[in-house]
Amino acid sequence: MNLRIGIVGLPNAGKSTLFNALLKKQVADAAPYPFCTIEPNVGVVPVPDVRLAALAEVTKAEEKMEKLPPLVPAIVEFVDIAGLVKGASQGEGLGNKFLSHIRETDIICHVVRYFEDSTVVNVAGEINPLRDRDIIETELIFSDMQTLEKQQEPRGKIDHDTQKKWDLVVRLKEALNQGKNARDVITDEDERALINDLHLLSMKPVLYVLNVSEAQITAEEDVIKQLGNAIVICAKTESELASLSAAEQKDYLASLGLSTSGLDRLIQKTYDMLGLISFLTTGVIEARAWTIVRGTKAPQAAGVIHTDFEKKFIKADCVTFSDFIASSGWKGAREHGHVRQEGREYVMQDGDVVEFKIGA
């Protein structure tokens, strides 16, 4: 599965600067004025995973290869959505068009401005992250209310699920009118499934990115606690990091008192929020990470590689990443008894190194 993250926020909050850093090249037109991004820019970014290099080294030695097999990390798709403004749900600032792009994402990365820069216009006035958050969330709620108003009460003889869905629509209308987000109203997974087809924007999980100046990167900001699911990133610094070598990046981060880049933390945080993990495969063709939802069983994980693998699944040979490396590959892992043969009910674990056995 490919994770799709929508980057949103008020104009000039730093969305396109962050997007450019993610892609490690200037893809979006980051200009210091509103609406420089008209169509959503889409970019595919690899998920950082140091385990792949170790897998490749072990595989090279075990298979007596002349060079390392290719590394194929899991990927995240980022969508840079143009700046929203107050009144977007009513069409202000091309808002309806931009709101529709959010529906196609799995999680919203909401960039809120906390840096001071007189050369970059602040369309909302003074710096106020909580106000900026509320402006965007209000527009998402207004858009959802329009969606809910279009739902018609079912008539005649109806089944249980249809009635239940209508009851949820009524409950949501009341709650959203009080300024609540749909995700805070409907928390039961079965209920969520009933209204998935409505594609409510305020149902999507949100990660807030507090875009700070370089001087604020390691500061303890009270506003972080008030925002909720939030991380601190200096988009300008991340953009500068993108132009450096790996060694230079490490030194630069150390000089800022950081061990990892903000972008790596952003991707990891979205994985955690969505309950995503990775299992690993390795061989002469490639060393690869595959993304699945935590709780996925072995046949469904095999289906991520190829749909036929789920149908023809027989068993899975699994070994933990640490045991695989310590045993120098599959042969050593089997000799030391670290390889487990798992069946259809096995729940995959993060870092499982797997060989799926598939029938004809």
What CATH number does residue 104 fall under?
3.40.50.300
* Domain identity same for 267 and 301: no
Q: Please classify residue 35 by burial: count the beta carbons closer than 10 Å to its beta carbon, then call 0-12 exposed, 13-18 middle and 19+ buried.
A: middle
Amino acid 151: pLDDT:
94
Evaluate if residue 94 carries a pLDDT over 50: no
Amino acid 41: pLDDT:
79
Long-range contacts of 163-168 (CB under 8 A, 24+ apart): 164/191, 164/194, 165/194, 165/195, 168/194, 168/195
* Domain identity same for 156 and 44: yes
Helix (H, G, I), strand (E, B) or coil at 110: strand
**Over the stretch 160-208, which tens digit does the pLDDT of each residue have?**
999 999 999 999 999 999 999 999 999 999 999 999 999 999 999 999 9
Q: 222: which 2 tokens?
A: 């009270």
**What domain range is 263 assigned to?**
3-272
* Domain identity same for 250 and 128: yes
Least confident of 6-15, 85-94, 226-235: 85-94
Has residue 335 been placed in a domain?
A: yes
Evaluate if residue 34 carries a pLDDT over 70: no
pTM above 0.75, yes or no: yes
41-50, 75-84, 169-178, 212-221 — which one is most confidently predicted on average? 169-178
* Domain identity same for 181 and 324: no
Helix (H, G, I), strand (E, B) or coil at 11: coil
Least confident of 111-125, 183-197, 256-270: 111-125
Has residue 284 been placed in a domain?
A: no
Give me the mean pLDDT over the 75-101 stretch. 64
* Domain identity same for 264 and 314: no
Please state, for a pLDDT cut of 90, what percent of the chain lies above it: 56
* Domain identity same for 30 and 144: yes
Has residue 279 been placed in a domain?
A: no
The domain that holds 300 is classified in CATH as 3.10.20.30
Amino acid 324: pLDDT:
98
* Domain identity same for 218 and 352: no
Has residue 286 been placed in a domain?
A: no
Give me the mean pLDDT over the 250-271 stretch. 89
Least confident of 45-59, 72-86, 195-209: 72-86
Residues 319, 352: contact at Cβ < 8 Å? yes
Has residue 75 been placed in a domain?
A: yes
Cα-based angle 139, 128, 238 (whole degrees, multiple of 5): 95
* More reliable by pLDDT, 224 or 193: 193
Has residue 277 been placed in a domain?
A: no
* Domain identity same for 188 and 250: yes
Of 219, 238, 272, the domain-final residue: 272
**Over the stretch 122-135, which tens digit does the pLDDT of each residue have?**
666 688 889 989 98
* Domain identity same for 146 and 230: yes
Please state, for a pLDDT cut of 70, what percent of the chain lies above it: 87
* Domain identity same for 203 and 348: no
Residues 71, 287: contact at Cβ < 8 Å? yes
Residues 15, 89: contact at Cβ < 8 Å? no
Has residue 283 been placed in a domain?
A: no
Has residue 289 been placed in a domain?
A: no
Evaluate if residue 65 carries a pLDDT over 80: yes
Angle at which helices 129-149 and 95-102 pack, to 10 degrees?
90
* Domain identity same for 84 and 218: yes
What's the domain count of the chain? 2
**Over the stretch 275-289, which tens digit does the pLDDT of each residue have?**
999 999 999 999 999
* Domain identity same for 192 and 339: no
In the structure, what pLDDT confidence band is assigned to residue 245 with cuts at 50, 70 and 90?
A: confident
Q: How far is CA 173 from the centre of its chain?
A: 28
Cα-based angle 14, 19, 20 (whole degrees, multiple of 5): 100
Q: How far is CA 84 from the centre of its chain?
A: 20
Amino acid 268: pLDDT:
92
Of 239, 272, 305, the domain-final residue: 272
